[in-house]
Structure 1
Amino acid sequence: MTATSFRYHLPKKAIKSDCPDCGPKHRKTLSRYIDSLTGEPLPDIYGRCDRESNCGYHLNPYHKGPSGLSYHDEMKNRERQEPIPKDWFRTAARQKHNGETKQRIITNLIRLQHATPEQAERVANFLFDGPVASSSGPTPPAGPTPVFTIPDELLKQSLGHYERNQFAILLRRHFGTNVADDLLKRFNIGTSGRWPGACVFWYIDEQNRIRGGQIKLFDEFFHTVKYVIRNGEKRSRTSWVHSAYARRLDQQQTPYPAWLTAYLDEQNDVQKSPCLFGLPQLATAPIDKPVAIVEAPKTAVISTPYFPDFIWMAVGALSYLNADRMAPLRGRRIELFPDLSKDRSAFDRWNRIAGELLGHGFQITVSTYLEDNATQDEKAAGLDLADFLLEQWEGYPPDWEE
């Protein structure tokens, strides 16, 4: 078998970058592996150093790591799990009808639809090897649960209006306008009309699909506003974009659009935040920049200017930390910052899950900073990293009832 018959190989015309082991003294000594189906280089840890006698660095994408899987294995597994849009089958069917070859259809899907090679091959195999397509186009085979999303227009409409967004006002007051506006743009923070002053934390996945939007109303100290219902129970001013939108349409006696009907259908098992908050940052972040994970979106936003060496993201809730949500972070160094708890249960839970993720090939550690520095009262109150950072803000009162 020749070298070029492998999907990943070192091309004759080398693509160069810095070797991880040589350091800054020897620049551009690493020959990168490329994906033969796309022509794109692999992450810059996969390559062979030209200084074979002095360095000898060589990481092959077929080499199995501590998890027992190679880069090749992980890409295959990830591509098999990604859903395939129905439009790709219809487009490919038209191309087949017009006489395009199987390989040409695969190439078109990769180039024009940004499909992964595995996805493109699955579409082409279904068309050429599966049942005959109907006149309306083929029905894709059973696969992952369809993804239900919120239209881009709603996100775009929410961006801006920061003069009436309490979270934006607080960021500008605490960090200054330039830093605050960078954070608002970086995290796609929106403004909601659900309550005067409310903001929206948009959950956007690695494919830039809008999976959910959490609405929050904060008081003047970054605490979620609480209210008391008739039986004396405290509730927070927290909602979701799809719920608020449905509520407004109900008040206007207006029919739901198709996307909202599908999103609200319990049979579709739609989750409000099935991905990490802050994923769009990966599009421009260096591959060697580590990721820090916290529970709340607010904490991820506030921590970013304090610790810019991390890419800050949030899972949304203590129980949401799992391999599915963390999948886009494979290949990156990850550090978890669990909230405090009276009995250390939050830390122990994330520490246990981190051990499981290590077994699946994730590079992950758990920070003990809060556990090592918090008082018993702070632990009992369940404070998080943002609370510790904001204590430095003059006039910021601790309110451990949140």
Structure 2
Amino acid sequence: KKRQPKSPININEKDYDIIDEKYVKISMWNKRYINTFTIWLFKLIGNNPHYGIEAIKDVVQKYDLGGSHRINGAVVFWQRDYNNQIRTGKIMLYNQQTGKRIKDENRPNMINWVHYYLKKEHRLKADFKLKQCFYGEHLLKKYPNAIVAVFESEKTAIVASIIFPDLVCIASGGLGGLNLQKCKVLAHRHVIFFPDLGCYQQWKAKVEGISKHIFFASYSINDVLEDNATEEERAGGLDLCDYIIKSLTNNN
């Protein structure tokens, strides 16, 4: 853990557009919250005596785990910012048995986005200005004194939030999603960064660079996976979620 000199941070700069809250509500209507991702969650955690179905219900509400009517069965990971405004939503389809992502055959190697579809349908202005935030960022304001855990994927943040309820679990949305702009909301917080296997050095360099501009009350880059992974696990680029799944499957 390290400390740095204090520096002022303005997280209220409004150089972006937002999406109407009604689209979040629409994603929850007609039981769309029962999608391939939440079905997999229930199979993994809902039947576990330590957690149960209530844990799934709580996380669905906590993270607005709605469904998409554009891609049947897909979950929408809404990016709700520190001020509770919707920046966009990431639409992803999962295998409800394995929890693995199913990629869109029509848009290979690309993520589907709510703002993309709303612009296409002329429900957003053509020059809609997107500025992404951390997934789960709204929870920082709700739990101001909790330790923050930063993961790469939304899936890992959600699963980790169930297993470690005392942490505020958020996600950068990918390896390249960790940047100075997003991290402004982490000023004055105790933060643990959890890079995926093989990404430790990249995240370490990024975080140390960011720490020169933002005052963290304390921060660390977790290296437990990096120090203990097998070569096979390292080649597979496993993250903390994979280890949690393995432990739950083995009732450990």
TM over 0.5: yes
Answer yes or no: is 1:293 the counterpart of 2:155.
Answer: no
For residues 170 and 23 of structure 2, what CA distance do their matches in structure 1 show?
A: 22
Residues 376 and 353 of structure 1: CA distance in aligned 2, closer, same or farther (over 3 Å): same
In structure 2, the residue matched to 1:194 is 70
Answer yes or no: is 1:239 the counterpart of 2:108.
Answer: no
User: Any idea what SS the aligned residue of 1:78 has?
Assistant: coil
The two structures, once aligned, show a CA RMSD in angstroms of 2.4
* Residue segments in structure 2 that go unaligned for 5+ positions in a row: 47-52
Answer yes or no: is 1:337 the counterpart of 2:204.
Answer: no
User: Any idea what SS the aligned residue of 2:91 has?
Assistant: strand
User: Any idea what SS the aligned residue of 1:217 has?
Assistant: strand
For residues 77 and 241 of structure 2, what CA distance do their matches in structure 1 show?
A: 16
For the 8 Å contact 2:33–2:65, the answer to whether it is kept is no
Q: How many pairs align?
A: 239
User: Any idea what SS the aligned residue of 1:222 has?
Assistant: coil
Residues 228 and 276 of structure 1: CA distance in aligned 2, closer, same or farther (over 3 Å): closer
For the 8 Å contact 1:199–1:216, the answer to whether it is kept is yes
Question: Deviation of residue 235 (structure 1)?
Answer: 3.2
Residues 320 and 278 of structure 1: CA distance in aligned 2, closer, same or farther (over 3 Å): same
Question: Deviation of residue 150 (structure 1)?
Answer: 1.3
Question: Deviation of residue 260 (structure 1)?
Answer: 3.7
Deviations 1:218-259 (A, max 9, x none): 002110013667xxxx93684111223445x3xxxxxx13x3
In structure 2, the residue matched to 1:110 is none
* Counterpart selection for 1:316 from 165, 170, 173: 173
In structure 2, the residue matched to 1:205 is 81
Answer yes or no: is 1:78 the counterpart of 2:13.
Answer: no
For the 8 Å contact 2:190–2:219, the answer to whether it is kept is yes
Question: Deviation of residue 377 (structure 1)?
Answer: 1.2
Deviations 1:280-299 (A, max 9, x none): 11232142x21000001111
For the 8 Å contact 2:33–2:75, the answer to whether it is kept is no
In structure 1, the residue matched to 2:137 is 279
Answer yes or no: is 1:372 the counterpart of 2:236.
Answer: no
Deviations 1:281-324 (A, max 9, x none): 1232142x210000011110011121223110001011121221
For the 8 Å contact 1:172–1:181, the answer to whether it is kept is no
In structure 2, the residue matched to 1:326 is 183
For residues 221 and 260 of structure 1, what CA distance do their matches in structure 2 show?
A: 38
The two structures have a TM-score, normalised by structure 2, of 0.86
* Counterpart selection for 2:45 from 141, 163, 175: 175
For residues 28 and 109 of structure 2, what CA distance do their matches in structure 1 show?
A: 23
For residues 83 and 90 of structure 2, what CA distance do their matches in structure 1 show?
A: 19
Answer yes or no: is 1:158 the counterpart of 2:27.
Answer: yes
Runs of 4 or more, structure 1, over 4 Å off, are: none
For the 8 Å contact 2:94–2:101, the answer to whether it is kept is yes
For the 8 Å contact 2:84–2:138, the answer to whether it is kept is yes
In structure 2, the residue matched to 1:224 is 101
For residues 164 and 385 of structure 1, what CA distance do their matches in structure 2 show?
A: 24
The two structures have a TM-score, normalised by structure 1, of 0.55
For the 8 Å contact 1:216–1:239, the answer to whether it is kept is yes
What does 1:102-117 align with in structure 2 at a 5 Å threshold? Answer: none
Higher relative contact order at CA 8 Å, sep ≥6: structure 1 or structure 2? 2
Answer yes or no: is 1:351 the counterpart of 2:227.
Answer: no
User: Any idea what SS the aligned residue of 2:249 has?
Assistant: coil
